[in-house]
């Protein structure tokens, strides 16, 4: 395609392709029609239609976590962006790179205040590290190239590019090359030496890991450091991706319930942070602390998320004289398959017994999942992806995007029923794209966690009206029918034996399938 004949939208797509962007999760409207046409005429980008913007943004998050690079989105003005914000919030917390592209009215149309006009930059800013409205067709390419670089800068960010319709359709587009992306920074020798000193205190010290430190190599070094010094190892509570299972260095997470977290952290006198923050309670509860470490605990930020966490841990290992071969390894050990009633323990044991090698677990299990980490730790090696920003409705889109980003791996989406209802349209995308995702719905037919929270915050004597706001029965959701209506086959199970049978059978198939587990 020749430069002068190219419109802004075509230069955008060519720039994305040149910058290594291979997928666009889309939900278009009139103002994006030239972008849609350019995605069609310029080869190189797989377009994945999502039927709600939260599906597109959540899928872009899942894709980034597995592919390690950004996808683009295509969203429709402020309202489309608004629909996608909760999952952009989660993606920001996961530090997922995303090139978030939002269409806008033609620049000269804004003066009329047509119905879809809104403050798109204002909506984008809280979830974006970089926001720009392209001014004209000539600047689309260079703005897009900058957006790719901004998104890809370690550890990963959301870059929102707002594309006015006339910038897209006017000729004069120029393809731009992605500017160089600075690699993750190395931390100073002095910081390493200081952390090494703190680690000599042994078990009173905790090494708290987040981000890339929870991938295999980082964990290898961290495990070696802990073994050598006697320091404790822990992952922050919510993590974008943990590589775990047999043969890997086991790591526990800070528990969600405040009292459990306080108990786990109470003896820590020195906290060394590597890509993690100081652990805090998800919410304030009357009479309970916000920070979960003791007041006299010394905090040392060894490496921020944007630093090179693996190199930091390797250097720290060197400083304390630890070798990778000394890292403790999780032995292969699976629980026995349980029988009888469906309980939270029997569900966790079934998953621990059957989780397949190389699975990508997308976990939005909420209450049902509290015991999953423990009982799956000795399963075959797998990845575990969590909801990082507490905004529910991520799981089904996350699994969708993870399957696009890692097409040869089985994705297992463990999904609470209430959370699943926010973005269930993503099941349709799984069917259309034939994605290899097994969705397991924990049908407890309630917002179970909030029943506990009602008590935890000390709400007085909840009555019928309050309890009804936390209940999803009357009518009960029929997940098998919901899935079927979107092209995904499913099965409902009411005993743990039937769950194990259905789970095993689903693992032998490829493509989307759903199991509704009635709890
Ligand atoms: C976007 C968003 N809206 C609302 C909430 C508040 N919230 C937290 S948990 C929850 C209900 C969870 O129910 P479910 O997913 O069924 O999990 P369960 O506790 O039943 O296992 C709600 C509504 C939230 N965290 N995020
Ligand atoms: Mg529920």
pLDDT value of position 240: 98
342 C-alpha to center of ligand 1: Å? 21
Assign residue 44 a region (left: φ > 0; alpha: ψ between -120 and 50; beta: otherwise). left
Ligand 1 atom nearest the C-alpha of 470 is 11
Which residue's alpha carbon is nearest to atom 7 within ligand 1? 392
Partners of residue 436 on adjacent β-strands: none
Q: Considering only CA atoms, which residue is closest to atom 16 of ligand 1?
A: 418
Q: Tell me the per-residue pLDDT of 169-217, one tens digit each, with 9 for 90 and over.
A: 999 999 999 999 999 999 999 999 999 999 987 779 999 999 999 999 9
- CA–centroid distance, 390 to ligand 1, in Å, is 9
Q: Can you tell me which residue has the tokens 């044991």?
A: 349
Q: Which residue has the higher pLDDT, 201 or 379?
A: 379
Q: Which atom of ligand 1 has the smallest separation from the CA of 444? A: 20
Determine if ligand 1 sits within 6 Å of the CB of residue 462: no
Report H helices in 6-134.
8-18, 33-41, 53-67, 77-94, 120-124
Q: For residue 4, what pLDDT is reported? A: 57
Would you give the DSSP letter of residue 291?
B
pLDDT tens profile 215-246: 999 999 999 999 999 999 999 999 999 999 99
Distance (angstroms) between ligand 1 centre and the Cα of 288 equals 22
CA 512 to chain centre: 20
Judged by its nearest atom, the ligand closest to the C-alpha of residue 363 is 1
Tell me how far the alpha carbon of residue 171 lies from the centroid of ligand 1, in angstroms: 47
pLDDT in tens, 486-496: 999 999 999 99
What pairing do the DSSP bridges indicate for beta strands 242-244 and 382-386?
Answer: antiparallel
Cα 510 to averaged position of ligand 1 atoms, centre (Å): 30
- DSSP β-bridge partners for residue 273: 208, 301
What percentage of the chain carries pLDDT values higher than 70? 99
* Interval 83-107: pLDDT, tens: 999 999 999 999 999 999 999 999 9
- pTM beyond cutoff 0.95: yes
Distance 73 CA to ligand 1 centre (A): 25
Q: 416 in ligand 1 pocket by Cβ < 6 Å?
A: yes
Average pLDDT on 134-155 reads 98
User: Distance from the CA of 121 to the center of ligand 2, in angstroms?
Assistant: 35
Residue whose Cα lies nearest atom 22 of ligand 1: it is 447
Ligand 1 touching residue 450 (CB < 6 A): yes
| Token pair recorded at residue 60 | 């872009």
Cα 446-452-456 angle, rounded to 5 deg:
150
Across the strands, what pairs with 412?
A: 361, 438
189, 195 in Cβ contact below 8 A?
Answer: no
Check pocket membership of 387 for ligand 1, CB cut-off 6 A.
Answer: no
Smallest Cα–Cα separation from 173: which of 133, 142, 146?
A: 142
- The reply to whether ligand 1 has any atom less than 6 angstroms from the CB of 144 is no
Identify the nearest ligand to the CA of 447 by its number: 1
Q: Which residues have CB atoms below 5 A from the ion given as ligand 2?
A: 416-418, 444
The set of residues, in sequence order, having a beta carbon less than 8 Å from that of 377 and lying 6+ positions away, is 244, 245, 250, 330, 352
* Rounded distance from Cα 265 to ligand 1 centre (Å): 26
Task: Give ∠ CA 452-456-462 in degrees, rounded to 5.
Answer: 70
Pocket test for ligand 1, best of 364, 372, 449 (most atoms within 8 A of CB): 449
Pick the range with the lowest mean pLDDT from 1-15, 41-55, 184-198: 1-15
Please indicate whether residue 418, judged by its CB atom, sits closer than 6 Å to ligand 1. Answer: yes
pLDDT, residue 462, reads 82
CB 368 less than 6 A from any atom of ligand 1:
yes
Q: What is the pLDDT of residues 417-464, one digit of tens each?
A: 999 999 999 999 999 999 999 999 999 999 999 988 888 888 878 888
Is the beta carbon of 444 within 6 A of some atom in ligand 1?
Answer: yes
- DSSP secondary structure letters along 185-222: BPPPHHHHHHHHHHHTTGGGEEEEE-GGGGSHHHHHHH
Q: Is the Cβ atom of 364 under 6 angstroms away from ligand 1?
A: no
How far away, in angstroms, is 208 Cα from ligand 2 center? 30
CB of 127 within 8 A of CB of 157?
Answer: no
User: Six-digit token pair at 513?
Assistant: 């399938």
- Residue 420 CA: nearest ligand 1 atom is 15
Question: Locate tokens 């269930």: which residue?
Answer: 424
Q: How far is the CA of 441 from the centre of ligand 2 (A)?
A: 9
């Amino acid at each position: 395609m020749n430069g002068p004949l190219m419109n802004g939208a075509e230069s955008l797509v060519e720039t994305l392709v040149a910058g290594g962007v291979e997928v666009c999760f889309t939900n278009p409207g009139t103002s994006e029609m030239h972008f849609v046409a350019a995605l069609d005429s310029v080869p190189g980008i797989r377009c994945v239609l999502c039927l709600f913007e939260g599906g597109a943004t959540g899928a872009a998050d899942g894709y980034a976590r597995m592919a390690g690079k950004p996808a683009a989105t295509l969203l429709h003005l402020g309202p489309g962006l608004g629909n996608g914000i909760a999952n952009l919030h989660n993606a920001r917390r996961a530090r997922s790179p995303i090139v978030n592209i939002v269409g806008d009215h033609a620049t000269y149309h804004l003066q009329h205040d047509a119905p879809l006009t809104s403050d798109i930059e204002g909506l984008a800013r809280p979830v974006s590290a970089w926001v720009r409205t392209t001014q004209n067709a000539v600047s689309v390419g260079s703005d897009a190239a900058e957006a790719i670089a901004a998104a890809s800068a370690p550890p990963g960010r959301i870059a929102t590019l707002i594309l006015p319709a006339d910038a897209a359709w006017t000729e004069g587009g120029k393809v731009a090359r992605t500017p160089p992306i600075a690699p993750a920074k190395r931390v100073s020798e002095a910081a390493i030496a200081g952390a090494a000193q703190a680690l000599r205190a042994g078990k009173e010290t905790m090494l708290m890991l987040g981000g890339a430190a929870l991938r295999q190599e980082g964990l290898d070094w961290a495990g070696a450091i802990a073994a050598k010094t006697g320091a404790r190892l822990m992952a922050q509570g919510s993590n974008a991706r943990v590589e775990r299972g047999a043969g890997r260095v086991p790591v526990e997470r800070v528990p969600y319930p405040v009292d459990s977290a306080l108990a786990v952290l109470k003896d820590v006198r020195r906290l060394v942070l590597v890509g993690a923050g100081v652990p805090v309670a998800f919410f304030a509860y009357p009479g309970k602390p916000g920070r979960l470490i003791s007041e006299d605990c010394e905090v040392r930020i060894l490496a921020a998320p944007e630093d090179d966490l693996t190199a930091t841990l390797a250097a720290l290992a060197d400083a304390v004289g630890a070798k990778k071969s000394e890292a403790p390894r999780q032995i292969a050990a699976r629980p026995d398959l349980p029988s009888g009633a469906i309980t939270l323990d029997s569900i966790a044991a079934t998953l621990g017994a059957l989780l397949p090698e190389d699975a990508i677990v997308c976990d939005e299990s909420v209450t049902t999942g509290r015991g999953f980490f423990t009982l799956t730790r000795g399963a075959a090696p797998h990845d575990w992806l969590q909801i990082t920003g507490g905004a529910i409705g991520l799981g089904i889109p996350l699994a969708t995007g993870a399957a696009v980003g890692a097409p040869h791996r089985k994705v297992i989406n463990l999904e609470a029923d209430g959370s699943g209802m926010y973005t269930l349209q993503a099941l349709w995308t799984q069917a259309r794209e034939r994605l290899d995702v097994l969705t397991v719905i924990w049908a407890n037919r309630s917002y179970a966690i909030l029943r506990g929270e009602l008590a935890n915050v000390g709400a007085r004597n909840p009555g019928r009206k309050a309890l009804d706001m936390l209940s999803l029965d009357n009518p009960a959701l029929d997940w098998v029918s919901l899935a079927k209506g979107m092209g995904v086959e499913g099965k409902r199970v009411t005993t743990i034996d039937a769950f194990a049978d259905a789970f095993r059978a689903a693992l032998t198939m490829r493509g989307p399938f759903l199991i509704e587990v009635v709890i």
